[in-house]
Structure 1
Amino acid sequence: MERRACSSLVHRRFLDTGLPPREERVGRCRRDRARHHARADRRRARPHLWRANLDRPLLWNRRHRRAPRRLARLLDPRPHSCHTSIDDDLRENGLGYTAKLGLHGRYGGYALVTGAARGIGRAFATYLAADGFDLLLVDREASETEALAEELAAKHGIDTRALICDLAEPGLLAKAEEWAKTYEIGLLVNNAGISLLDPFFDIPLDAHLATLDVNCRATLLLTYVVGQSMTSRGRGGIIIVSSASALSGSPYFCHYAATKGYGLNLAAGLWSELRGSGVDALAVCPGMTDTKPVQDQGLGDDLPFYVPLAGPEPVALAALRALGKQPALIPTWADRMSAGLLSKLLPRGWTLSIMKRSIEKMRR
């Protein structure tokens, strides 16, 4: 009787203190231990998910420790029954074995990419061709655009059209309406842009107006005309390539940062407005990227530690993976750290002073 009373008292004590009985606590410990070993096995089997590589989009960090299974399947480089590996040339870019994105099945039709001849636009076109999209490549560089169109058509067996066009010209609206009527455009990538590095008042007014036409007016016209046909069909995707400089402004890039802020806010507003309609919108805000304007201006040669230089391929891949999931994206882990330091933690005056000193040092 004493044992039963003691056992009953102990059991009541656990109940009164909110603790479960010993058997249940032991069972929980065993289950937790089994889960821990299972997680360790998964880490050993797929170590690429647990390493933050500065050359890749962010695949894994602390907030993803309990990521859903579908994220792990999306990032898993091994082939699944529903995943098909893309071509070897993309694997050689340092991005590893990448599964098809499945965007063509979601949006269908053609993908229209502006500024497609080189840099981030070329990376977008390459990934979208591998995903099965027919392509409309818009650029003013005729030879490079036509060569890329022929290369992707031969490699992937898709229909590619090189649309040679200067987005700053007055007749862009008529051309955009013609493209929207002729082709079923399922994905629009507003990537083309003009970047001028100089003191604001040293740049001619005509150059400022051309920057405004390409970075804002062309983005508005294409988004409006193509987006109308997307909403009528009930599906589509719109990507606007903005810049991390849009988050806080930038000395010597004053007008460029202002125009990129327009694209950021346009895409974020459309993301909220079009939710549930089948049309997705995303603003991509990369930091310093290894593209031709950066190379021509010599900005990538002597960067401070807090200004990482990303390749165009990680930027494009991260944007395509994030489309439909969030309104805006800073594509790489290093850019997120830099933007968090300069745009969130420090006062804006300090941020602009740091950026000014850095740009002046790079311009010497």
Structure 2
Amino acid sequence: MAKRISNLRVEEFGHPLDLEILTPLKEIQATDKAKELFVKLWPQVRQETIALCGSHFHVTQGACPNLYALAKDVYNTLSIEGNLPIFYVEEGYHINSYTLKDKENYYIVLTTGAIDRLSSEEIKFLVGHEFGHLISGHVEFQLLLAFLPESARYILRLTELGNKGIRVVSDIATDTINDTKETVDKIKGFIFGKKNDSLKNSSSEKRNEQTGITTGIKTIIGVGDSITRLNKWNRISEYTADRIGLLACQDINVALSTLMKTSGLPQTYYNSASVENFIKQVNEFNDIYGGKYDSILKELDMLDEDHPWMVRRAAELLQWYESGAYERMLNAKELPLIK
């Protein structure tokens, strides 16, 4: 019987490196508007949602009552505010889950491999992990990261067009965003570094075109650097989400067995493999590859990854659990037992 938890705040359970990046992002005044601009400018977000709803199995109380009840149980355990996210199942043997968001709803997607290969309690950890991203405010920034490469390609195309590109951006902004002139200027500023006024003659047009190309290239470099930094944050955010997964299933062995299976444990050995041996692997990895040089190599290897290695996730979660932070939060946030 799960303890019900209330008033979860990312400042209390978030991984320190996650908060170090996430907190200033949230405090930037233009952040909300920037996120909205990306959602409006890049209809791929809507396209992804439509593809999701058209291609995958919708988990409802009528169509899949046991799985729906399990998801709702986690929703209640964590005292999630707002509507229950919409759940879908995606065909795939691997164990995976992810969260999408449009302007109205959150969508949590699990693979068939996750449903078929995990126990009910392990699925609670996985669903809780996705709720962790939702509670922490990760999802909007993850969407931003997902579409930054697309933004970069679009910017590159516009820089090739010079000042014609500026007019294209202005037209798109006017047609797709019912907002103030200030917002339109911010879009053009984002792409070309500064606002370009109307052209008076061919020589000034050429100079402005060259300026547009130069600043556009600088923007591409800046976007690339932003992608690298956001990728690192995205990996770290998994550590925070795992903590909420643990608070959802409320059993460290269940949480670690989920990570163990996700790491590649063959289904044939599910009954014989032990969490104790996986913990031993985690500790040995830290002992053998914990030096400064190996740490640099690990960071280089993961530059383009969107998730940290499973062994590192297990190590981070185990460290948080053994620090006593899990028990303190569970006891401090406990509400009456769910019957």
**Higher Cα Rg, which structure:** 1
TM-score range relative to shorter protein: under 0.3
Q: Larger RCO: Structure 1 or Structure 2 (Cα < 8 Å, ≥ 6 residues apart)?
A: 2
Please report the TM-score for the alignment, with normalisation by the length of structure 1. Answer: 0.22
TM-score, length-scaled by structure 2: 0.23
